[in-house]
Amino acid sequence: MFTGQSILVTGGTGSFGRAFIDYVLEHHRPERLIVFSRDELKQFEMRGSLADRDPGCLRYFIGDVRDRDRLITAMEKVDVVVHAAALKQVPVAEYNPFEAIKTNVLGAQNVIDAALTTGVKKVVALSTDKAAAPINLYGATKLCSDKLFVAANNFRGRHDITFSVVRYGNVFGSRGSVIPYFLKQARQGTLDITDERMTRFSIFLVDGVRLVMYALEHMWGGEIFVPRLPSYRISDVATAIGPNCNRRLIGIRPGEKLHEEMITEMDGYTSLQMANHFVLTPSTDLWDREQYKQTFQATPCPEGFSYNSARNDRWLTIPEIREAIVTRIDPAFSPA
């Protein structure tokens, strides 16, 4: 799909960006694969770790999505943009609201403007489950970003470009998530649990990459792709990691939900379902939902449908959580 094309990844040194670049290097032969990020140390380390795998296509651009002019320079003769740059720590966004707005909202608009200016063909932006019915600033900024990318298809004019969004849940074992936190705490014999009832969606990073690849291949422009994911209970994660550890209830933190939601009931009215994912279709006369359903054998979601981690039909069991920790995080893991 990418043979002879140029791809730019904003936030290219982040968890997703690195996984996406690894995947492209393994499966595709692009002309250029551009890492766009503001962290010079991570770029230096990434350049060293990928030196043996780089067929000569990797490029490294220092830049910030807040800087529209730098984005325009970086996107010169680029065909595909994957927008993964964001400020995503909920407490940080709550304490530094306008910094989150500058990156997540104004940065999203800069990516759109730069892509339109330079002749990019496809843009896929990463979203989060926290953008559905947001209760914290991070979720609100990502919902705003989603709206910008969906609406960008309405004012592309004669530009041959499409914009779509991929929204998924918590990445299993990602930096700052509960599993590495519990693994560290288990050594001390006590786990801090916000609420025993809490549930979350879970996705492996490679599956997020594959959904973005699917979106790039099949996007019409304006869709929000949502994968079908298993849920887990925070209490099951605690049991899987530290069955003999003490548990200390600390309460839900500011801006945190008891359960996550990726499709609200109102969004469910315009959502379609397929074997491995859902698609939130844009409510615009320019979009032919009936033709889309026929093309992809999609069916409407049932009346009153919402996609909530507490009302899921698939759950990670305690043995599955332990197996995933061994295969994805720490081969030497054993329950504390």
**Both ends of the chain: CA-CA distance in Å?**
45
Residue 118 included in any domain: yes
Q: What is the pLDDT of residue 305?
A: 94
Residue 329 included in any domain: no
The b/e string for 198-216 (b: 16+ C-beta within 10 A; e otherwise) is: bbbbbbbbebbbebbbbbb
Q: What is the CATH number of the domain that holds 270?
A: 3.40.50.720
Average pLDDT over residues 10-38: 95
Give the residue numbers spanning the domain of 301. Answer: 6-168+203-229+264-307
Average pLDDT over residues 156-180: 88
* pLDDT tens, residue by residue, 206-244: 999 999 999 999 999 999 999 999 999 999 999 999 999
Q: Does residue 285 register a pLDDT over 80?
A: no
Give CA–CA dist 216/120, Å, rounded. 13
Q: Does residue 120 register a pLDDT over 80?
A: yes
Residue 248 included in any domain: no
* pLDDT tens, residue by residue, 73-84: 999 999 999 999
Among the listed residues 122, 130, 142, 257, the single catalytic one is 130
Lowest-confidence region among 174-178, 310-314, 320-324: 174-178
Residue 244 included in any domain: no
- Block residue for tokens 């759109």: 112
257 is catalytic: no
* pLDDT tens, residue by residue, 318-329: 999 999 999 988
Q: What is the pLDDT of residue 284?
A: 78
Residue 1 included in any domain: no
Residue 196 included in any domain: no
Alpha helices in 119-195 (DSSP H): 137-152, 178-186
* pLDDT tens, residue by residue, 25-60: 999 999 999 999 999 999 999 999 999 999 999 999
Q: Model-level pTM? A: 0.94
Residue 106 included in any domain: yes
Task: Specify the length of the chain in residues.
Answer: 336
Q: What is the pLDDT of residue 174?
A: 80
- Block residue for tokens 């998530």: 177
Structural domain count of the chain: 1
Q: Does residue 118 register a pLDDT over 90?
A: yes
Residue 57 included in any domain: yes
Q: What is the pLDDT of residue 186?
A: 94
